Amino acid sequence: MKKSSLLCLSILLCLLSAWLLRAHYSKPSGTGTTEVGVAHQERVKTGAPDAVVSAAANEDNPAAPDTQPLSAAAATIHAALEAALVELQSGDPARREAALQMLDELLSGAGHDAKAAIDAIMAFLRSGRDAQTGEEFVVGAEGLLDHAPTLRSLLMDHLGSLCLEAGQTEALTLAHSVLGKFGSTDEWAVCLRNTAWLDAKSGDFLTQKMEQMLSHEAWLKNPTRSFLESFDVIGSVGATSLLPRLEQFTSNQEMANLWRAGTVALDQFATNHPLETLQYLQSHPEFLQDRPLQRADLLAKADMGKSDQRALVEAYLQNPKFTADERGKVIDGLALQGGFLSQNLLTRPQAITPESEQLRIAMLHDLGNQWKGSNRFPDLNEYIDNLLLTTQPPPAE
Amino acid sequence: MKTSSITTILSAACIALTAFTPTAAQAQTTPTYVGSATTSSNPYYFVGKLNMTFRSASGVEQNFVGSATTIKPYSALTAGHCVYHGTMGWLRRATFERAKYYNTAASTNTVTRMWVIGGYTSNAGNGSTNTYTGFSYDAGAVICSTRPAGGGYAGWSTNTALLTGTAYNMSLGYGSENHNGLEMLRSAPTRGFTRSTGAYYRNTTYQIEGGMSGGPVFALSGSTWYVAAINVSGGSAAGVRALDSATTSLINTNLN
């Protein structure tokens, strides 16, 4: 057995002992289903778009009592979750850290039992109990959380990947319940991601949820990290209906958090859906009209190797309604492409290799020569010259 | 590739240590020219001038000077605000002149791709510390069409104790606020950095100036130099963006 596994086992045993002692000396908490965590106490607003189904009215509400007994393996994990709850509630940083390490090893370490872990997590989440972890909401590799602010959001994070691994859907059922009311933005963010992971046809549902999220005044007033990270859903599912909302966010420089998230979300949308972006801009020429340079940046995400996208860009470059400098910025942006590089809930960085980059540059150089040779855009020759210069084949190394 | 680069760094470090001793430069709390010979020695020769062209909505071309460090065969590390501006958007044209000294440079490279290494929330704070002009405290990167240092690059460290402890630190870059932007500058704090928010650290004991943005904070550990942070803000205190593990993970995975 590995040293780390032994360490984890000993931590687990300590935590289990602590939990058993607590269970012995404290009054039983009844069914656990009536106790509602702090994050769930906020009342649901009425009226569109805030009108969401309350969890209590949802027949699929996983908060309903579950009479199914846990398997021995699931019961052991459940006991560890209970023990972790006690440790996290202690507020002691060292005890919290040990508990979080134990949970990670237990739920995603080598040899973990996905099915048992899912059952245990679901049973625990039904209790509604929660504890702060003392950490921020931080997205890591592959959309998994590096840090979660609460035990519940941490468990939902694990639940999503465990369900993917085991081919089960409990995380999806839970997500529909969580997303049915305005509780915790941390839980919303994880449940939006889990829904996208587990339901390939959830695009419309996720768009609807994002519309609700981005219209919820209480959350907009003080946007949390998880609220802002949720913007990634827009670019992932290609929620075109939310582009006007992003335009609003990026026009308000006073709300720096929303400005930033909106700017990145627009960029990710155009990166992940260049054709839809071009089509939207063609049919909505008023979009970003007060910020033409940012509009040009979105157009510059086009893949000019694809004929449909290229045709739309060329139509735009010929449109005198847009200034020469705006159109020129598209050409500049084709040659020098920008992007945001971060770990996101759903979208992933583009895979770029030196070879793929050389092919892109060579293709653009040929295109620039065609444009120049045919005098296709006579008022943009300055920018085409720059394109040719930037994409000039490098000398052999 | 990494191994050969480290070898390059280690062998060159010996030359650097004879050319420069931290003690002699500890009084350089304001940016000071390093000179031609030092510019072409380790670790300085991984650093270069970033020539940036933005353009306002009215079509006025605006040229800026920044700095960057070769961090992968084709990539140089810089500041996020060197590549993205809140109102002018993405940078329009850029070249990276490694180890530039007046009219000479070890290499001049065309930039064909750029990144703000940051997302919906800032790793360098909670966002309220960022101005709307964009990604002030974020890391950034530029990708060149040719390898700026023939495949070699500087080593880096995510050990922030190299910033906050007693390790020797120095900021490098091509300052053009009070200097000519044609020659590399160095300035060094007299004590460790203090963490401000997230991966943003400050130091009131030394200064960096405009143009040094995006340049490295090198930390000396043993006999090896590591990029430990990026210059991101000046003024009364130097502000730097530490290379935390999240950032270096993205660099390792996504930069060529």
> pLDDT tens across B164-189, in order?
999 999 999 999 999 999 999 999 99
In B, which residues are within 8 Å of A138 by CB distance? Answer: 246
Give dist(CA A378, CA A290) in Å, integer: 25
Residue B141 has pLDDT above 70, yes or no: yes
B40, two tokens: 């072409």
Q: A339: which chain B residues are within 8 Å (Cβ-Cβ)?
A: 113-116
CA distance B111 to chain A (A): 7
Q: Is B245 on the interface with A (CB under 8 A)?
A: no
Q: Rounded to the nearest 5°, which phi and psi values hold at B227?
A: -75, 120
* Paired tokens of B198: 């997230």
Region at A32 (left for phi over 0; alpha for psi -120 to 50; beta for the rest): left
For residue B53, give the chain A residue with the closest CA: A332
CA distance A61 to chain B (A): 31
Cβ separation A291–B83 shorter than 8 A: no
A187, A221 in Cβ contact below 8 A?
Answer: no
Token output for B98: 């490694």
Can you state the angle between helices A151-166 and A72-89, rounded to 10 degrees? 150
Q: Is the per-residue pLDDT at B4 higher than 80? A: no
Percent of chain A with pLDDT over 70: 83
Angle of the A170-178 helix axis to the A114-126 helix axis, nearest 10? 20
Question: Which pLDDT does position A200 carry in this prediction?
Answer: 97
Contact B84/A at CB under 8 A: yes
Q: Which residues of A190-215 are buried (b: 16+ CB within 10 A; e: fewer)?
A: bbbbbbbbbeeebeebbbbbbbbbbe
- Output the pLDDT for position B133: 53
Task: Write out the two tokens for A285.
Answer: 């020429």
Q: Phi/psi at A9 (nearest 5 deg)?
A: -65, -40
Residue B124: its chain A contacts at CB < 8 A?
none
Closest-approach residue (CA) in chain A for B52 = A336
Note the pLDDT tens digit of each residue in A123-146.
Answer: 999 999 999 999 999 999 999 999
For position A253, what pLDDT does the model report? Answer: 79
The SS3 assignment for B192 reads coil
Nearest-by-Cβ selection for B116 from A329, A337, A340? A340
CA distance B236 to chain A (A): 23
The C-alpha torsion from A170 through A173 and A179 to A182, rounded to 10°, is: -80
Question: Do you find a cis peptide bond into A65, omega within 30 degrees of 0?
Answer: no
Is residue A170 predicted with pLDDT exceeding 60?
yes
Q: Please write the tens of the pLDDT for every residue from A315-349.
A: 999 999 999 999 999 999 999 999 999 999 999 99
Instruction: Tell me the per-residue pLDDT of A1-10, one tens digit each, with 9 for 90 and over.
Output: 444 555 555 5
Averaged pLDDT score across all residues of chain A: 86
How many angstroms separate the CA atoms of A238 and A274, rounded? 10
Measured distance between the N- and C-terminal CA atoms of chain B, rounded to whole angstroms: 11
Residues shown for chain B: 256
Whole-Å CA distances, A144 to A18, A68, A238, B254: 29, 29, 21, 18
Q: Angle at CA B204, nearest 5°, toward B200 and B209?
A: 80
Alpha helix stretches (DSSP H) within chain B? 2-19, 22-25, 36-39, 80-83, 161-164, 245-254
Check if the beta carbon of residue B234 is closer than 8 Å to that of residue B54. Answer: no
What local confidence, expressed as pLDDT, does residue A221 receive? 93
Contact A395 B150 (CB under 8 A): no
What local confidence, expressed as pLDDT, does residue B7 receive?
A: 28
Instruction: Let me know if A89 is exposed, middle or buried by CB neighbors in 10 A (0-12, 13-18, 19+).
Output: middle
Alpha-helical regions (H) of chain A:
3-25, 72-89, 93-108, 114-126, 151-166, 170-178, 185-198, 203-213, 217-221, 225-229, 232-237, 243-251, 256-272, 274-283, 292-299, 307-317, 324-335, 354-374, 381-390
> CA B187 → CA A174, B29, B95, B156, B238, distances in Å?
55, 5, 24, 19, 10
Which band of pLDDT confidence, cut at 50, 70 and 90, is reported for residue B206? very high
Predicted local distance difference test score (pLDDT) of residue B23: 53
Q: How confident is the model at residue A40, as a pLDDT? A: 30
Structure tokens at B49: 């001038």
B216 pLDDT more than 60: yes
> What Å distances lie between residue B101 and A34, A59, A334, B141, B146, CA to CA?
72, 72, 31, 22, 20
Spell out the residues 6+ positions from residue A312 whose beta carbon is closer than 8 angstroms to its own.
A275, A278, A279, A282, A302
Q: Which of B121, B246, B238, B233 is nearest to B190 (CA)?
A: B238
Other beta carbons within 10 Å of A154: 26
pLDDT class for A56, splitting at 50, 70, 90? Answer: very low
User: In whole numbers, what is the pLDDT of chain B averaged over residues?
Assistant: 87
Read off the pLDDT band of A113 (50, 70, 90).
Answer: very high
Higher pLDDT, A309 or B121: A309
pTM of full prediction above 0.80? yes
pLDDT in tens, A13-40: 555 554 443 433 333 332 222 222 222 3
For residue A87, the distance in angstroms to the closest alpha carbon of chain B comes to 26
Distance from CA of B125 to the nearest CA of A (A): 11
pLDDT band at B13 (very low <50, low <70, confident <90, very high): very low
At A302, phi and psi to the nearest 5?
Answer: -60, 145
Report pLDDT for B58.
Answer: 82
Q: How far apart are CA A35 and CA B72, in angstroms?
A: 53
Q: Residue A306: enclosing H or E segment and its boundaries?
A: none
- State the DSSP code for A65: -
User: Can you spell out the DSSP letters for A332-344?
Assistant: HHHHSEEEE----
Q: For residue A180, is pLDDT > 70?
A: yes
Kindly tell me if the per-residue pLDDT of A390 is higher than 90: yes
Rg (CA), chain A: 25
Cβ within 8 Å of A, B 89-108: 89-94
- A397 pLDDT band, cuts 50/70/90, is low
Question: What pLDDT sits at residue A350?
Answer: 85
CA distance A259 to chain B (A): 7
- B235 falls in which pLDDT band (50, 70, 90)? confident
- Of the CA atoms within 13 Å of residue A251, those in its CB half-sphere come to 13
pLDDT digits (tens, 9 = 90+) for B55-65: 887 888 899 99
Q: How confident is the model at residue A67 (pLDDT cuts 50, 70, 90)?
A: low
Residues of A within 8 A of B256 (CB-CB) are 352-354, 357
Specify the pLDDT at position B27: 58
- Here the ipTM equals 0.89
Is the pLDDT reported for residue A169 higher than 60?
yes
Chain A and chain B share a number of CB contacts under 8 A equal to 155
| Chain A residues touching B132 at Cβ < 8 A | 253-254, 256, 259
Partner-chain contact B147 A341, CB within 8 Å = no
% of chain B at pLDDT higher than 70? 85
pLDDT of A59 reads 37
